Homo-oligomer: A and B are copies of this chain.
Amino acid sequence: MDAQFYLKMFRTVKIASAATVDADGNPQSRIINVMLCEPEGLYIVTSRGKPFYRQLAETGKIALSAMAPDCQSLKLSGRARKVEQKWVDRVFEQNPGMNEVYPGESRYALDAFLIYEGSGEWFDLLHYPIRRETFSFGGAPEEHCGFEITGSCIGCGACADACPQKCISEGTPYKIAWEHCLQCGLCSETCPVGAIRRLHR
């Protein structure tokens, strides 16, 4: 699926958590609204008085996660930069409820930020088999986590037996259906010859 499909899903859900890293290297997270979805990315706003603003402006780094209906979850990690004030006006046009919180000119306490690149994942835990898809936009590489069975596989099937989601199929080597994998790591822990490697750090 196209990244724009998932970015639009973020905008439809609207309520997301935004994570940043503070000056002490601690993660910080708060609920925000995804204000606009455009071909170039997602727009959010925050006011200059908030720690969120400072962390975002200083690091340019942000992660979002959101819960969509039917136990579908979304996440992305990417980069954001401050954009022109006209985007604050666009946000207020599209989200008129903002005028109750920031009436009149007070809207300009806010700046708009564009999340212009990122890589993310959609995950459906409700249906069996579970399903995940990755996406990326703005030139970020798509990131696959999880595990891969290498050519050292001896075909014993221990991994397939251990898999709680039964997403490993026979073959030479055995193969993990990445899109149905929990990424629990049991296959890798069970493999008697260490043939299953982690795709991420």
Residues of A within 8 A of B (CB): 15-23, 25-31, 47-51, 54, 61-67, 73-75, 77, 100-104, 106, 109-110, 123, 125, 128, 130, 145-147, 162-165, 182-186, 188-189, 198, 200-201
Contacts and interface: CB of A to CB of B under 8 A. Distances in A.
Contact of A47 (B67, B103, B184): B184
A159 to B, nearest CB: 12
A29 B73 contact: no
Nearest to A19: B19
Contacts of A201: 22-23, 51, 54
A100 B125 CA distance: 10
30 contacts: A17-B29, A18-B29, A19-B28, A21-B21, A27-B61, A27-B63, A27-B77, A28-B75, A29-B64, A29-B65, A29-B77, A30-B65, A31-B65, A31-B67, A47-B183, A47-B186, A48-B189, A49-B147, A49-B182, A49-B183, A49-B185, A50-B145, A50-B184, A51-B201, A101-B130, A103-B164, A104-B164, A109-B184, A109-B185, A110-B184
Contact of A65 (B17, B21, B186, B188): B17
A15 B65 CA distance: 11
B23 A27 contact: no
